Amino acid sequence: MKKLILTLILGAFAGMQLRADEGMWPLTMLAKLQDAMQAKGLKLTAEDIYSINKSCLKDAVVRLTTKQGRMFCSGEIISEQGLFLTNHHCGFGAIQELSTTADNILENGFWAKDQSQERAANFHIALLAKVEDVTDMVLDGIAINGPEAERTKAVKEAVDKITKKLTDGEKEKGNEYKIELVPFYNGNRFLAMYYTVYKDIRLVGTPPQNIGKFGGETDNWMWPRHTADFSMFRIYVGADNKPAEYNTTNKPYAPKHFFPISLKGTKQGDFAMIMGYPGRTSRYTYSEGIRYFSEKDRPARVDLRRKVLDMYEEYMFKDPAIKLMYADKYAGLSNYWKKFMGERDGLKKLNIYERRKAEERAFESWMNAAEVRKGTYGEVMGLYDEAYQGLSQYGMFGVYLGEGIMNCQPFAVASSFTELANLLADKSKQADAKAMAEKMMGSVDETYKEFYAPIEKNVLAAMVQMVYEGLDPTLQPIEFRNWVAKYKNDYKRLAEDVFKRSIFADGAKLKAFLAKPSASISKDPVMMIWMAFNKKSTELQPVMMGINTKLARANRLFQSAMLEMNRDGKLITPDANASMRLTYGTVLSYDARDAVHYNEFTTQKGVLEKYTPGDIEFDAPKKLIDMLRNKDFGNYANASGDLPVCFLTNHDITGGNSGSPVLNAEGHLIGTAFDGNWEAISSDFAFEPDLQRTISLDVRYTLFIMDKFGGAGHMLNEMKIIR
């Protein structure tokens, strides 16, 4: 009878486990997945994919980062000269920065005729050298149930110490690695990631925006898709093939591995896998967390972002110069506006709260079946309940601050002047203040190059109103409440006054202030309100720290229990955390809803069907439309004579995977992942095996646009094409 009860408990709990082809798997787990992948059609071994002893697939997977080191996308090397592909929306910011009204390559596209014409891009890339399990080193002597603050401190100290030790050890060997110790399973496991960071990255080619972003926000997260979402860059290095700062004497990088490109195409049921850097998932969020996100957090984010986008659109669609100026900001805001909207609705529609409740009951039954488990995990549910009660009461402050106040550029700029304002207020630190002001002067032009006063004035008025009317008054600074009352809730008049008086509403005024900095900055209306929010944030910090500590402890203990429950060998995928992962599955169609079936691929027919001359989202170059109508496809047509555009797989990906290589059973490139589908947009919280699909750009359409449309066929000479 006991055995039957345990079987039923584990069966209920299985909803929280993911079958081997439904996860984002760390490379260290591939050996255990090899048989399952080969059973689906993989013709390689785990070591062909990840090895520290020989070149392998992981050596051609690119991690895109800002210059400050923040990861934002993935990519793949496709030639022995360091040429790599990523998405158009991943390269969007770099392409925009390289564009001017006189040479608008964002709008018109760009194809370097040779390497001398390639243009320096403002981001870095990293290549993963190896992964090492350092769990025992990090957690040595640290008890699972010790006081959370003490444990957190001990883990941080261990991570810092081990990171330094590993880094110093590699330097002695002549290796300049950036080493990141990354927690898995909410701090129950730790892996060390060794990266080589390359700093000289150059734009090689990009289609025009109305090809690379065909369909705009209407098609974003939707299937069927018909966008050529790609851009091409190249890695440059010093004469020794090692990373170097930008220099005209640098040479193209010679990679350990690059992906051959297959033009053989795909069909329903074909094996495929994706390697890349998924950002963050929250697959094990507690049921009350699901309620909080679906009823409070996501609805507020959707409304706040939509209002800002409305302000942008009012001017962007009237003036090409303003459209270019705000293109990157708009793209960033709109992408997650639609994702948050989908999560708001999907979390409820797919009954994730109820499903999670059932899983939690199964966990409690398993825990209560043994006293030792109750002693270790008995506090988990209580911690979760307390944490989410607190988050429901205080969490929206951070949402309205980040999505409302900080989406007003004057406030965002003022936030970076906090330290300077504090120095200026201290008469003994005027020399330090002056030195800081001189240093900050150099960034003003960069900060205000994407600042159009009429837009920013409207945004400020709208955001102040939404924060005042939407955020619990007890969480609003009293100075903010009084400020709005002073203008009798006339938000337009308030914004007009701010833009007349504040140095943060005008780059020239700010530069004049920095030339002669003074304590008068504390009386600036924008700085006064920012300081009030900053003070409120500081006041709430202990409360939020308490909430986050409870959540961290509950999450860690809960995932420890999951690992303990599955010691018989069942694999549990950890949440995504911006480290390299592999996901595998098949090319697959799906049934979206009753009587609605979607095929697994699209062709040029859909481009022609959607094409609307002059439309902001569905226009396209006449040259492309003529080529598609005339079926001038070159070598890129499929067996039916149509031009493949995009295709579907049942892979498990999330933000950060954008630009990831989609590979066939031989490890050849067949496409570039760029999106998920609307029906499973809440997949960061729960995987939906029947609905979830990855949308990828077929590499044949990529090469068609580059070669036939762009006239850059010379680039094919450095690729390995398999026909």
- Tens digit of each residue's pLDDT (9 = 90 or more) over 549-594: 999 999 999 999 999 987 776 789 999 999 999 999 999 999 999 9
Give the phi and the psi of residue 129 in degrees, each rounded to 5: -90, -45
Rounded Cα distance between 403 and 181, Å, is 30
Give the pLDDT score at 615: 94
Q: What pLDDT sits at residue 569? A: 66
Residue 639 lies in a domain: no
Other CB atoms within a 10 A radius of the CB of residue 528 amount to: 17
3-state secondary structure of 641: coil
Dig out the tokens for 294 from the structure. Answer: 């679906």
DSSP-derived pairing of the beta strands 178-184 and 261-262: unpaired
Say whether both 316 and 387 belong to one domain.
yes
Check whether the bond before 224 is cis (ω within 30° of 0).
yes
Q: Is residue 511 part of a domain?
A: yes
| pLDDT reading at 489 higher than 60 | yes
Distances (CA, A) of 670 to 265, 366, 673: 7, 44, 10
Residues 45-69 have a mean pLDDT of 96
Per-residue pLDDT at 13 exceeds 90: no
**Does the residue 401 lie in any domain?**
yes
Mean predicted lDDT score pLDDT of the chain? 94
Strand partners of residue 722: 262
Q: At which of 559, 594, 626 does a domain end? A: 559
Same domain, 195 and 245: yes
Q: What is the pLDDT of residues 168-177, one digit of tens each?
A: 999 999 999 9
Give residue 379's identity as a one-letter amino acid code. E
Q: Which residues belong to the active site?
A: 89, 229, 658
My answer on whether 468 and 539 are in the same domain is: yes
How many C-alpha atoms does 452 have within 13 Å on its Cβ side?
Answer: 18
| Helix or strand holding residue 231 (H, E) | strand 231-237
pLDDT at residue 75, rounded to an integer: 98
Judge whether 469 lies within some domain: yes
Closest CA to 453 of 412, 410, 491: 410
What is the mean pLDDT of the segment spanning 626-655? Answer: 97
Residue 438's CB: how many other CB atoms inside 10 A? 12
What pTM does this model have?
Answer: 0.92
- Judge whether residue 17 has pLDDT over 60: no
pLDDT of 92 strictly over 90: yes
Same domain, 217 and 75: yes
Indicate whether 21 pLDDT > 70: no
Q: What is the pLDDT of residue 571?
A: 85
Q: What is the distance between the alpha carbons of residues 365 and 384, in angstroms, rounded to a whole number?
A: 17
pLDDT at 14 over 90: no
pLDDT for 5 beyond 60: no
Tell me what the mean pLDDT of segment 341-369 comes to: 93
pLDDT of 9 higher than 90:
no
Same domain, 410 and 304: yes
Residue 638, SS3 per DSSP: coil
Kindly state whether residues 511 and 364 are assigned to the same domain: yes
So what's the pLDDT on residue 566? 79
237 and 314 both lie in a single domain: no
Helices in 443-516 by DSSP H: which ranges? 444-448, 453-470, 478-486, 491-501, 507-515
Quick one: pLDDT at residue 565? 85
Query: What per-residue confidence (pLDDT) applies to 22?
Result: 66
Domain assignment of residue 222, given as a range: 59-260
- Reduced to 3 states, what is the DSSP secondary structure of residue 361? helix
Kindly report the number of other CB atoms within 10 A of residue 434's CB atom.
16
For residues 468-490, average pLDDT = 97
First to last CA, the chain: 60
Q: Which of 534, 559, 584 is the last residue of a domain?
A: 559
- Last residue within a domain, chosen from 535, 559, 583: 559
pLDDT of 4 over the 80 cut: no
Give percent of the chain with pLDDT exceeding 70: 97
pLDDT number for residue 104 = 96
Contact indicator for 565, 16 with CB cutoff of 8 Å: no
Are 423 and 476 members of one domain? yes
Measured CA to CA, the distance from residue 375 to residue 368 in angstroms comes to 10
Residue 570 pLDDT:
76
Q: Considering only 83-92, 205-214, 442-451, 598-607, which range has the smallest mean pLDDT?
A: 442-451
Q: Is the pLDDT of residue 238 over 60?
A: yes
Q: Check: CB of residue 271 under 8 Å from CB of residue 40.
A: yes
Residue 251 within a domain = yes
- Report CA-CA distances (Å) from 382 to 2, 393, 554: 27, 17, 9
Tokens 């006054």 correspond to 497
Residue 542 lies in a domain: yes
Q: What is the pLDDT of residues 499-557, one digit of tens each?
A: 999 999 999 999 999 999 999 999 999 999 999 999 999 999 999 999 999 999 999 99
The pLDDT of residue 635 is 94
- Looking at the structure, do residues 319 and 449 belong to the same domain, yes or no? yes
Whether residues 256 and 344 share a domain: the answer is: no
C-alpha 130/C-alpha 26 separation (Å) is 12
pLDDT, one tens digit per residue, over 96-147 is 999 999 999 999 999 999 999 999 999 999 999 999 999 999 999 999 988 9
Burial 121-133 (b: 16+ CB within 10 A, else e): bebbbbbbbebee
Do residues 306 and 378 share a domain? yes
Q: How many domains does the chain have?
A: 2
Any domain includes 43: no
Do the domain assignments include residue 277? no
For the cut 80, the answer to whether the pLDDT of residue 223 exceeds it is: yes
131 lies in the same domain as 232: yes
Q: What is the pLDDT of residue 539?
A: 97
